[in-house]
Chains A and B, each alone.
Chain A
Amino acid sequence: MRGVARIRSGRPILPSAILSASASLIAAVMALLSLYILLRGHNEPGGGFIGGLVGAGALVVLGFASGAERARRALRFHPIAIAGAGLVMALISGLPALLVGQPFLTHLWGEIPFEAGALKVGTTYLFDLGVYLVVLGSVAAFHLMFVED
């Protein structure tokens, strides 16, 4: 397999023209897909874990094609910080229950009325988002570490 280049930060690992050209597009689509998977999880197959993995996959594609530096810029925050934020979010999602006298992590639901019907929102989405971010951040942290020198 030609192309086992010496790794240097910022340079692509696999100098494939097709990948470099299409990486940004692929990554964007994957990121969008990951959000979709996250949001549909409550009623259809999907959820936070899978969404996070797919999101991390987007980052991996970007990292392979354009280099770790580009992937980090896309994340904008430090991956460990993202994981930590996810953990905090998951914790916070359980707190409103305490305010109404329920045990910790009892999820509360409300409705936002729209023209087409009412949208049900609940603290589960916050929790799932937290899970998503933890998985995304952790896998991204691992991968970017290994991709750089």
Chain B
Amino acid sequence: MTQTLDTSSPGAGGVSHATHGWFDAAYLVALVPLAVLGAILSLGPTVLGADSAAEWSMPWVPSLGIALSFRIDGFSFLFGTLIAGIGSLVAIYAAAYMKGDAHRGRFLLLIVLFMGAMLGAIFAADVILLFVFWELTSLLSFLLIGHKASDPAARRAAVQGLMVTVGGGLALMAGLLLMASIAGTTSLPGIIAAGPAIIASPLFVPALLLMLLGAFTKSAQVPFHFWLPGAMSAPTPASAFLHSATMVKLGVYLLIRFDPAFGDEAIWQTLLIGFGGATMLVAAVQALRVEAFKAVLAQTTIAALGTLTLLVGLTGPVAAVATVGFLLSHALYKAALFFAAGNAIHATGVDRLSQMGGLARSLPFTAGAAVIACLSMAGLPPFIGFIAKELLFEAKLDTGTTALIVLAVIVNAVLVAVAAVVALRPFFFGEQRPAQLKHGETVGLAAPPILLACIGAMLGLLPGLASNAFLTDAVSAAAGETIIVDLKLWHGLTPYLGLSVLAVTFGALIAWRWRSLNAALASRRMPTAIHAERLSDRAAAGVLNGGRALTARLQNGSLRKYAWVPLLAFALVIALALVSGGMALPPFDLTERPYLILIVAVLVAGSFVAATARSFLAVLIAIGLVGYALGVLFLKKGAPDLAFTQFAVETVFVVVAAAVLVRMPLQVLEPRVQGERRADAALALSIGVLGTLVALAMMGEPFDPRISDYFREVSLPEAFGRNVVNVVIVDFRALDTLGEIAVVALAALAAFGVMRGLRARRTIEPAAAQKPTAEEAGQ
């Protein structure tokens, strides 16, 4: 995988290496997301246009009113195009990036599956369906983060991410179910339409809090944001797809969907603005603290998510346009930057920004893409990021307070600084230049970032194209009312332009002093993240420790303990039933035929011998005696089939048991002490007595003969058999019998497997009795 680059021939770089095995079958995987993209785009004419949507529905659980329904409106059309489009590029990039990785196929499969789950979540029109896909994305994210399973840091990050998002998912489900029960339907549009009813209900606040918990954990809001930087242990293509462009935006998507219903409530606005703002601030500071390339990008992603949450909390049409616009531009530039980061890290083998430098010469396309994307991130014209940022400022000036505006400027300045550092440092400046590069650029690695960056540039240069084509429909669908979007590059000298200039200047200052600022901040501890992370770690450890303790208690290897628990429980339950149920015992009739009493006496004697005998042989014979006596009893009481089976089973059992016992010492080894023996005897005796009492009580109940009468009447005419027992087994209740023989066969298979394993592990016996036997090679 690592090809040493000959640095003595500059410019000969990666591309010439790539032309060798240019075609790689793995690239074909990208056809799947491309096909999906095509399918989504083909729905464009149906979806775009005033108030229309494409719908498809199929009943799923009719008794609960849950349906497999999907709905594509303007907003999910845009988001879906984004997901499928970036997904295709990720597939191409991943095929190139992970060349040489043994599990590349698995990774690509997971990426495609993830895309499917993500699309399912945003197209779902039923909240249960939405939840299922939501959890699927968490699960797939877990698998993708832990792709390199041998790395303990990756495993830990994957488990942490899973626990946080799934915990949030549980809260989300509770919240959604509460809302569905108030609205009377599980359909998403239905619940949104029932907004006033939900708000009026006393369960509104709990339901809202639960739902927000789910959304905030997924979208990494403070204090649940700590899992996202950890997720950077994932391979870069996964980070680019999941943790920047798509999955983390799912929480924001949910908030956008519910905004038309709850957007006017003070609690909604306060919570969203509060958490969003806090996230922005925390992430901005963190972005300046960290050193690794991907970590910086992760922190800016968290900041962007905070911004989006805040924007959803703001009211007004401008905020709606700003939300969608920022969602779009962020996805474009962040994915491109992650691709560039991946290329840089792949090429140099290091991941810290301070250790990279001067890569533009060997990674020209990547550098170009990074610069363009960074310009978009910094919000400089003429890129889409600039337009989005202007909208941001306008939205905050429109409806926000001064505090929000200050926050926005600060965060934007930090983004500018980070953009400058990320664009310039590794590619152009940088004190440390790595001596030898491991990997150059290939087509698969360079094309995706360039393409994304160019799209961002194009949308910025031709904003009218975007707004007419799809943004108007997207924003209108998101806001629930028609909003005409009119994006322009130049609005004139407006207050928000002034704010932009302010932010850019401030940011440039920070970038200039990045090195010292970074060192100063890194040395001080941050309060928020540490507590939440430690809590989640402790929770995970606690669960595992609890499991271990329980297992040590219950599964301690002592056969006696294993037998005691169910037997004792059984005895207690029976005793309880007898005492409380007050079962009546039938009149005891001792004038039974004498030979039956003799047989019962033999039975009892046999059991006694079996329990107390000292030799295995005696035990075995006694057990066989009990079985045969029972068979005779059945026979005398008029059950020939039963007796027949009993005799056959008893014979086979005694013989097979003898085959096993032949190899054991003939004396019974007694591992129990006197006290234990007494306790075991007491338990056995009590179960015997209780069982007898229950059997007697059951016989006292009047017997309902309807079933046996039915079988007796119908057996010959309908089933052509005179042996009712056999007819019932083979015909009337054949399905039960099928299940029983399946169990028997499975038990035999399992025992066979166990025996084979034991035999394979047995050590060779000592030489004394050894003759080289032709040991059968298994079975």
Partner-B contacts on A (CB < 8 A): 1, 4, 6-10, 13, 41-50, 53-54, 56-57, 60, 63-64, 69, 78-80, 83-84, 86-87, 90-91, 94, 104-105, 107, 109, 120, 122, 124, 127-128, 130-131, 134-135, 137-139, 141-143, 145-149
Q: Give min CB distance, A140 to chain B, whole Å.
A: 9
User: Lowest 7 A-B CB distances belong to which pairs?
Assistant: A138-B748, A53-B648, A45-B640, A134-B741, A42-B721, A47-B726, A43-B722
**Contact of B521 with A by CB under 8 A:** no
> Does A84 contact B656, Cβ atoms closer than 8 Å?
no
Task: List the A side residues contacting B751 at CB < 8 Å.
Answer: 141-142, 145
**Contact of B735 with A by CB under 8 A:** yes
Q: Give min CB distance, A137 to chain B, whole Å.
A: 7
> Does A109 contact B742, Cβ atoms closer than 8 Å?
no
Task: List the A side residues contacting B662 at CB < 8 Å.
Answer: 4, 7, 13
> Does B663 contact A45, Cβ atoms closer than 8 Å?
no
Residue on A nearest B651 in the bound complex, by CB: A57
**Contact of B738 with A by CB under 8 A:** yes
Q: How many residues of B contact A (CB 8 A)?
A: 48
Q: Give min CB distance, B637 to chain A, whole Å.
A: 14
**Contact of B649 with A by CB under 8 A:** yes
Bound form: Cα–Cα A139–B779 in Å? 16
Task: List the B side residues contacting A109 at CB < 8 Å.
Answer: 720
Partner of B769, one of A6, A9, A64: A6
Bound form: Cα–Cα A131–B645 in Å? 14
Q: Give min CB distance, A43 to chain B, whole Å.
A: 4
> Does B656 contact A60, Cβ atoms closer than 8 Å?
yes
**Contact of B397 with A by CB under 8 A:** no
> Does B726 contact A8, Cβ atoms closer than 8 Å?
no
Q: A9-B775, A42-B721, A80-B752 are in contact. Are A87 and B745 (CB under 8 A)?
A: yes
**Contact of B499 with A by CB under 8 A:** no
> Does A46 contact B726, Cβ atoms closer than 8 Å?
yes
Q: Give min CB distance, B768 to chain A, whole Å.
A: 11
Task: List the B side residues contacting A6 at CB < 8 Å.
Answer: 769
**Does more than half of chain B's interface fall in helix, strand or loop, or is it mixed?**
helix
Q: Give min CB distance, A21 to chain B, whole Å.
A: 20
Q: Give min CB distance, A45 to chain B, whole Å.
A: 4
Task: List the A side residues contacting B734 at CB < 8 Å.
Answer: 94, 105, 107, 127
Bound form: Cα–Cα A149–B755 in Å? 10
> Does A142 contact B776, Cβ atoms closer than 8 Å?
no
Between A6, A54, A138, A147, the greatest number of chain B beta carbons within 10 A of the residue's beta carbon is seen for A138
> Does A47 contact B723, Cβ atoms closer than 8 Å?
yes
Bound form: Cα–Cα A84–B776 in Å? 23
> Does B720 contact A120, Cβ atoms closer than 8 Å?
yes
A64-B655, A122-B720, A124-B731 are known; give 16 further A-B pairs, CB within 8 A: A1-B666, A13-B659, A50-B641, A53-B645, A53-B648, A60-B656, A79-B748, A80-B745, A83-B745, A94-B734, A107-B734, A124-B721, A134-B741, A143-B656, A146-B660, A149-B775
Q: Give min CB distance, A101 to chain B, whole Å.
A: 18
Residue on B nearest A68 in the bound complex, by CB: B776
**Contact of B26 with A by CB under 8 A:** no
Q: Give min CB distance, A119 to chain B, whole Å.
A: 12
Q: A57-B651, A107-B731 are in contact. Are A42 and B723 (CB under 8 A)?
A: yes
Task: List the B side residues contacting A50 at CB < 8 Å.
Answer: 641, 644-645, 648
**Contact of B652 with A by CB under 8 A:** yes
Q: Give min CB distance, B663 to chain A, whole Å.
A: 6
**Contact of B29 with A by CB under 8 A:** no
Bound form: Cα–Cα A79–B745 in Å? 10
Between B648, B651, B729, B759, the greatest number of chain A beta carbons within 10 A of the residue's beta carbon is seen for B648
Partner of A90, one of B660, B725, B738: B738
Q: A60-B656, A83-B745, A84-B745 are in contact. Are A47 and B729 (CB under 8 A)?
A: yes
24 inter-chain pairs at a CB distance below 8 angstroms, sorted by A residue, are A4-B662, A42-B723, A43-B723, A45-B644, A45-B726, A46-B726, A57-B652, A78-B779, A86-B741, A87-B741, A94-B734, A104-B735, A120-B720, A124-B719, A124-B721, A127-B730, A134-B744, A134-B745, A137-B748, A139-B652, A139-B656, A143-B656, A147-B659, A148-B776
> Does A46 contact B644, Cβ atoms closer than 8 Å?
yes
**Contact of B8 with A by CB under 8 A:** no
Bound form: Cα–Cα A7–B663 in Å? 8
Task: List the B side residues contacting A57 at CB < 8 Å.
Answer: 648, 651-652, 655
Q: Give min CB distance, B149 to chain A, whole Å.
A: 35
Q: Give min CB distance, A126 to chain B, whole Å.
A: 10
**Contact of B749 with A by CB under 8 A:** yes
Task: List the A side residues contacting B270 at CB < 8 Å.
Answer: none
Task: List the A side residues contacting B722 at CB < 8 Å.
Answer: 42-44
Partner of A83, one of B659, B731, B748: B748
Bound form: Cα–Cα A124–B755 in Å? 34
> Does B752 contact A141, Cβ atoms closer than 8 Å?
yes
Q: Give min CB distance, B634 to chain A, whole Å.
A: 11
Task: List the A side residues contacting B555 at CB < 8 Å.
Answer: none
Task: List the A side residues contacting B727 at CB < 8 Å.
Answer: 42
**Contact of B617 with A by CB under 8 A:** yes
> Does B745 contact A41, Cβ atoms closer than 8 Å?
no
Bound form: Cα–Cα A145–B641 in Å? 29
Task: List the B side residues contacting A128 at CB < 8 Å.
Answer: 726, 730
Q: Give min CB distance, A145 to chain B, whole Å.
A: 5
Bound form: Cα–Cα A8–B769 in Å? 11
Residue on A nearest B756 in the bound complex, by CB: A145
Task: List the A side residues contacting B773 at CB < 8 Å.
Answer: 8-9
Task: List the B side residues contacting A90 at CB < 8 Å.
Answer: 737-738, 741
Which residues of B734-779 are within 8 A (CB) of A? Answer: 734-735, 737-738, 741-742, 744-745, 747-749, 751-752, 755, 759, 769, 773-776, 779
Partner of B752, one of A44, A48, A145: A145
Task: List the A side residues contacting B660 at CB < 8 Å.
Answer: 146
Residue on B nearest A41 in the bound complex, by CB: B726
Task: List the A side residues contacting B663 at CB < 8 Å.
Answer: 4, 7
> Does B745 contact A138, Cβ atoms closer than 8 Å?
yes
Residue on A nearest B773 in the bound complex, by CB: A8
Residue on B nearest A53 in the bound complex, by CB: B648
> Does B738 contact A91, Cβ atoms closer than 8 Å?
yes
Task: List the A side residues contacting B648 at CB < 8 Å.
Answer: 49-50, 53-54, 57
> Does A142 contact B741, Cβ atoms closer than 8 Å?
no
Q: A105-B738, A124-B731, A131-B741 are in contact. Are A49 and B720 (CB under 8 A)?
A: no
Task: List the A side residues contacting B737 at CB < 8 Å.
Answer: 90, 127, 131
> Does A41 contact B723, Cβ atoms closer than 8 Å?
yes
Q: Give min CB distance, B632 to chain A, whole Å.
A: 15
Bound form: Cα–Cα A63–B727 in Å? 33
Residue on A nearest B755 in the bound complex, by CB: A145
